[in-house]
A and B are shown apart, each in its own frame.
Chain A
Amino acid sequence: MTDRTIEIKGLVKEYKKGVPVLKGIDLSIEGEGITAIIGPSGTGKSTLIRCINRLVEPTAGEIRFQGLDLATLKGADLRNARRKIGMVFQEYNLVERLTVMENVLTGRLGYMNAFQAWLRRFSAADIAEAFQLLDAVGLGAFAHQRADSLSGGQRQRVGIARALMQHPDILLADEPTSSLDPKTSVEIMELMAELAGKRNIPVIVNIHNVELAKRFCHRMIGMTGGKVVFDGPPASLSETHLKEIYGGEDWLH
């Protein structure tokens, strides 16, 4: 098995010059289990995760993964690195007008050229795997429905299947449950934990719900104001830490 550890060193991101959103993040995330990043809105959690697969361009710093610096990759090298990094989004980001099957198969686009993709020439193995994944997320009967006909929970299941279709070495999840009801949120987290666990894929998840995070993660990273202020197992996350991360205390009781 390849090494799946991510080393982040001195990561800075400024959307506006002189106004850093990430103020020098140093993190080492071991290649297993689920790591949760918690923190108030606007504190740079999404930016941090998006720097890893370069949906956001870092301003400074290094992101070491499998011997590469993800922060400086370009062109084909960047695309080849991206296809090994699965991503699950808050608003699912499915292509609404494509079918569920087509959405899942887009996970293979990094492995084929545009002409094959245009003709929908996915390999038989890919198609078989897509059907298996759809069964695994409980949507086997929905393969030919258009994505915009699904409910939120169903869409997120397709999002997970799409990410796993990439055969990722790491899975990023940007607030995967924030648009879902509490019950569905738990089901989605369970599904991600189960499917990623089976495949030994480490997961980094941004999450607002602290209780949900504690339940599924072996490590929690608390961010506030663009910095890491807590890093440890869920059991050691105290109210004092939460006060420091989110500010104030009235909301705790």
Chain B
Amino acid sequence: MHQSPAPSPQPRAPTHRAFPTHWPARIGWILLAIYVVWAVGQLDVTWARFAAGIDNAAKFLGRMFPPDAGGDKWESLLIGMKESLQITFIATLLGIALSLPIGLMAARNLMPAWVVWPARGLIAVSRSFHEVVVAIIFVKAVGFGAIAGIGALVIGSIGFVSKLFAEAIEEINPKQVEAIRATGASFMSVVLFGVLPQVFSRFLGFATYQFDSNLRHSTMIGIVGAGGIGGTLFAAFQRFDYDFVCAILIAIIALIMLGEVLSSFVRALFTENLSVIEWFRRRFGQTEPERRDRALGAMEGS
């Protein structure tokens, strides 16, 4: 503690607090803490139980290594991965194609209420269930295989992409739209020239994110029989074939990482008009000062 200085000439009574206590928030945090403690007690989360689990996990991990995908396994791995990838591509394309009109119809600043509410209802229903639940429904309806998987992921894509797309449209700058309307353009032309250019890059972002997401989901829906690597993975688990499980997991990780690189590449190409070479240079061959300069330059330019 340092010495307190001489009292200032006009000591100010602390009547005005810069950050007044927000009681509702404080009470909320306290309630949340109480709930967590209670829930932990309910669920039998104890140290002994955890230690027993760790022991089991060590044995399991030991059986996973080294990963093995020799002989027949290699082929079934390839077939499964190929099917997952195909499900992803087809479902993402279809889902995005359907999300465009649905998202447009759900935008309150462009459409009358009688169009908006059915579109929003459709989106809400699509979002209600997890992809795996939808996949189970599709498997029951159309049978085992990739078609069920594609259907499930299309529904999931519609729910996610159209909702975000509608929100992006609701946030556009109305002045640009007004200017296009003032030229006497038809409604569709206004959408094409006044609305879409403003949301295109965000839409592309949603679409590539959904591609990533579908890639992950496509590796899982196979567990319920909707095609893809998930089926292979589940079968391997059932056979206690843990080294093959490990090989499959590594393959999935590789695929997801590849998908991420691919989607950031697509975004860069379309939204920043970068050439392929420029993209590589920026991503891998740039020093920190260069990056800062560019950010500053962009701010100046705007």
Mutual binders A and B: yes
The answer to whether A98 and B184 touch (CB under 8 A), given A87-B179, A89-B179, A148-B302, is: no
Please state if A110 and B178 are interface contacts (CB–CB under 8 Å).
no
Residues in B neighbouring A95, C-beta threshold 8 A: 176, 179-180, 193-194, 197-198
A162 on interface, CB distance cutoff 8 Å: yes
Tell me the B173-215 residues at the A interface (CB within 8 Å). 173, 175-176, 178-186, 188-194, 197-198, 200-201
Please state if A113 and B176 are interface contacts (CB–CB under 8 Å).
no
Contact of A114 among B184, B186, B201 (CB under 8 A): B186
Residues in A neighbouring B194, C-beta threshold 8 A: 95
Residues in B neighbouring A84, C-beta threshold 8 A: 184
Residues in A neighbouring B188, C-beta threshold 8 A: 114, 117
A169 shortest CB reach to chain B, Å = 12
Closest A residue by C-beta to B176: A95
Of the four ranges (under 10, 10 to 19, 20 to 34, 35 or more), the interface on chain A belongs to 35 or more
A53 on interface, CB distance cutoff 8 Å: yes
Please state if A110 and B184 are interface contacts (CB–CB under 8 Å).
yes
Contact count A vs B, C-beta below 8 Å: 88
The answer to whether A93 and B178 touch (CB under 8 A), given A83-B184, A114-B192, A117-B189, is: yes
A55 on interface, CB distance cutoff 8 Å: yes
The stretch that binds B, out of A28-36, A74-82, A200-208, A238-246, is A74-82
A118 shortest CB reach to chain B, Å = 5
The answer to whether A81 and B301 touch (CB under 8 A), given A95-B176, A117-B193, A118-B192, is: no
The answer to whether A96 and B193 touch (CB under 8 A), given A53-B182, A166-B184, is: no
Contact of A107 among B178, B183, B190, B200 (CB under 8 A): B183
Closest A residue by C-beta to B301: A149
CA distance A114 to B198 in the complex (A): 17
Residues in A neighbouring B175, C-beta threshold 8 A: 89, 91, 93
Closest B residue by C-beta to A87: B182
> For chain B, what secondary structure do more than half of its interface residues adopt (helix, strand, loop), or is it mixed?
helix
CA distance A154 to B193 in the complex (A): 20
B48 shortest CB reach to chain A, Å = 60
A223 on interface, CB distance cutoff 8 Å: no
CA distance A162 to B176 in the complex (A): 13
A156 shortest CB reach to chain B, Å = 12
A 155-169 binary contact with B (CB < 8 Å = 1; else 0): 000010010001000
11 pairs of residues in contact across A and B, judged by CB atoms under 8 Å: A55-B181, A79-B186, A93-B178, A96-B197, A98-B193, A109-B184, A109-B185, A110-B184, A112-B189, A114-B189, A148-B302
